[in-house]
């Protein structure tokens, strides 16, 4: 089954403790992206990747890191989480944004930073 898999679904952590949210897709998609969803703000893009080893900042990249060493994986890293990073995070992928292919989304990761 074609899917984007995020782990974990729920994560509670404390300020400053490094964490990684994993994202993997099995559709051989070129494009991958991370979004955060906050009430009243909709989805905001954190980082995106057009291909392996190619990443770029979205609208709200501060406090986040990403890497794209393999085509299927695009982990989101919070080196020193802070409470304002408490949010619902989504990973998404598509064949090629230039062709306006639809985005496939993971099920989300609810992160709470205490």
Partner 1 sequence: AQSVAQPEDQVNVAEGNPLTVKCTYSVSGNPYLFWYVQYPNRGLQFLLKYITGDNLVKGSYGFEAEFNKSQTSFHLKKPSALVSDSALYFCAVRQGGGNKLTFGTGTQLKVEL
Nearer to partner 1, 4 or 78 (CB): 4
- Of 4, 2, 34, 3, whose CA–CA distance to 20 is shortest? 34
Token pair for 70: 């393999």
Is the CB of residue 106 less than 8 Å from the CB of residue 24?
A: no
Which CB, 35 or 74, lies closer to partner 1?
35
Q: Nearest distance from residue 98's CB to partner 1, in Å?
A: 7
Least Å distance, CB 80 to partner 1, is 27
What residues line the site for partner 1 (CB under 8 A)?
4, 31, 33, 35, 40-45, 48, 50, 56, 58, 90, 92, 97-98, 100, 102-108
Quick one: 33 or 87, whose CB is closer to partner 1? 33
CB of 51 to partner 1, least distance (A): 12
Q: Is 40 left (phi over 0), alpha (psi -120 to 50) or beta?
A: left
């Amino acid at each position: 089954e074609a899917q984007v898999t995020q782990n974990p679904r729920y994560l509670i952590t404390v300020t400053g403790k490094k964490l990684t949210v994993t994202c993997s897709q099995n559709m051989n998609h070129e494009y991958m992206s991370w979004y955060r969803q906050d009430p009243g703000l909709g989805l905001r893009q954190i980082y995106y990747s057009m291909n392996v080893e190619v990443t770029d900042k979205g609208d709200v990249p501060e406090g986040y890191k990403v890497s794209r060493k393999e085509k299927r994986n695009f982990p989101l890293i919070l080196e020193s989480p802070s409470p304002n990073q408490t949010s619902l995070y989504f990973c998404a992928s598509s064949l090629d944004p230039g062709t306006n292919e639809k985005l496939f989304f993971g099920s989300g990761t609810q992160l709470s930073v205490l």
